[in-house]
Structures are given as structure tokens and as C-alpha cells.
A = this chain, B = another copy of it.
Amino acid sequence: MVIILKQEHEERQLDNLLKWLAGLNLRTTLIKGERSTILGLIGDTSLVDIDMVKAIDIVESVRRIQEPYKEANRKFHPDDTIIDVSGRRIGGRNFTVIAGPCSVESCEQICEIAAKVKKSGAVMLRGGAFKPRTSPYAFQGLRAEGLEFLLEAKKKTGMPIVSEIMNVNHISMFEQVDIIQVGARNMQNFELLKELGGLDKPVLLKRGLANTIEELLMSAEYIMAGGNKNIILCERGIRTFETYTRNTLDLSAIPLLKELSHLPVVVDPSHATGVSRLVKPMSLAAAAAGADGLIIEVHNDPSRALCDGAQSLTPDVFEDVVDRICELLPLLGKNPVRNEKTYD
């Protein structure tokens, strides 16, 4: 950490600051120039509250040099985290495809899609039971009933299921859900993150629309600090001025996250672009950029989907996407995760 001091400081104030920093077990070096004075801090600064330092009256600005996250930091955990979800792995040399509809609409619908995406190469099933919608008048999901239908589809196909949580009070309802998804809008719902930190269940954490890579890692840190280390990071587009796409998919986040962290990184090309015909090129690009997997919206009848249908693929197109990716993977040093166990 580097602290830049205001030029007009009193010696007494500086002494107080130096004592306070020494009390935090940090070594300090003072560099005095004509127009600026710099204080370099050496030691474990990840626990220092940077806002507190900024608030000190003789401090002009503070620059962090070390990353503020530890559990999620590759420097302290050099090996890739590989998460095992009922035999399907995410991370390392594995490439994992998760697919399913935006919303669970009926038991028949989710079971039918589950069977189709499994056949095409998906190894986990996604489906929204609780739906975050901008409008209170839009379809909000089947909620508890939706989770039941998902579990039915899990039973029929053997595929682990991924579904989004929106409320700390719903955690008990997600007991049999294999991966709990935290949506972009809840990435900084810190109370929810803390609760998830106490579980022993993988969490798929989506990057918020206006959140930096560092903030995504800090949100992962919230869960990990609670003891739950099974975090899957998900890039799903950030908000920019461009209007052709719903969001701007930031694929450079993939190699960056994998450099900064040991956690697996998957990409959601469906929500990121909001345009179904961009899902294929963006899926291939995500794989080429080093992603550990994809989470793709597939609907058996996109023209009738209750929400977000514009970004859904048909099962046929989805199969083509998976086939094309599987062709690329050997050249990218990745192995596609397969459905080893067959159920129906």
C-alpha cells in the first residue's frame, strides 16, 4: 500500500499516523519530495480498511498494491480449484456445459428440455424458479413449484441442477439444488453472500452489470471467508453505452480472473448479449479465451418462452454449438466433461 500525504501536514499528525500503522504490524518508509511525500507500507495490508486510511486528514490518496482478497487469490492458492458436482467437474482441464431454459414453466417443459440438452452434451441443467424481473408486472417464476419441477428433471436425467436464489430465506428450499446461482443483481447482496458462506454447496456467482473484476473477487471472498470455498465465477456482460447487445460481454475477464484467482470461470453468452444468434460465436470465443465452461439458455420453443426467449437457442442449434466447441477443445488443452452415468 502506498499513501500519498498532503504537503501541508504537521509533524505531530504524521507521527500519529506512523504509530497507528506500526500498531497494524506494517513497516513504513517515508519518501519526501519537493511537491509530494509518499509513505510506503510493507506487510499484510489486506486487512487494512482503505476507506479509513483515506479519511485521515493528512492523507491525499491511497493506492493499494496487494490485492485485497486472500481466499480467492491465486498467489496463495496456486493450483486450480476443481469443483466436483455429483461426478461432474468444473475447473482445471475440464470444460463443463450447463444448459436449460431461462424459466421453469412446467414439469413437462423442464423434463423435456433436460433430456434434450443432456443428449446434446450438457452435463448440468439450469432453470430459473425465482426470476429477477425489472417489472413487478412481469412473470416472476414458478418459485417453489419451479424448484420441484427441476428436481423432477434431475431425477429423470441424473443431471445436477443449477438455480438462482434471490432471498436469504429461501436457502432451505435449495437443499437439493446442486449449485446455487447468485445473479448479477445480487452480486453485492452481502447479507446473502454471508449466508451462502456457511453452506457446503457450490455457488455460481455472476458478475454484476457495473462491477469490476476486483469486486467480483471480493464478493467471492465474502462467501469463502465464511468457509464455503466452492465458488464458480461467471462472466455475463457488463453495462456499457452500446445498445445493439443487452450488455457487453467482457471476455478479457476470463484470462484475468484465471490469473488473479484459482477459481473456475464460466461464461453466460445468452444473458450477456441478449441475442440468440450471438450465442454460438460468443460461446466459441469464450472457450478460446480459456473459459472452464458455459451456461447457455436453451428452450424447446423459443418463440413461446415466458421470459428472455430472445436469447434462447433451440435444442438443435445448441447441439451444433456444443459440437463445434468439442472440436476446438483439444486444441485449447481442455477436455469436455461428459455424462458418464446414464439414467434413462
Contact = CB atoms under 8 A, between A and B. Distances in A.
B212 A244 contact: yes
Given A32-B42, A56-B303, A189-B189, 16 more contacts: A2-B2, A2-B40, A31-B40, A47-B137, A49-B137, A52-B306, A55-B302, A57-B303, A185-B190, A238-B241, A242-B250, A248-B248, A252-B272, A254-B281, A284-B332, A285-B288
Contacts of A56: 303-304, 309
B29 A307 contact: no
Ranked nearest first, the 4 interchain pairs of A and B with the lowest CB-CB distance are A55-B309, A210-B210, A33-B42, A31-B40
A306 B188 CA distance: 20
Contact of A33 (B27, B57, B250, B253): B27
Nearest to A222: B136
Contacts of A302: 55, 57
A77 interface: no
Nearest to A49: B138
A29 B28 CA distance: 12
Contacts of A130: 191
A318 to B, nearest CB: 16
Interface string A158-188: 0000000011110000000000000001101
A221 interface: yes
A243 interface: yes
Contact of A218 (B66, B134, B188, B277): B134
A65 to B, nearest CB: 5
B252 A248 contact: yes
Interface string A256-289: 1001000000000000110001100110111111
Contact of A35 (B66, B135, B189): B66
Contacts of A242: 212-213, 238, 250, 253
A203 B213 CA distance: 31
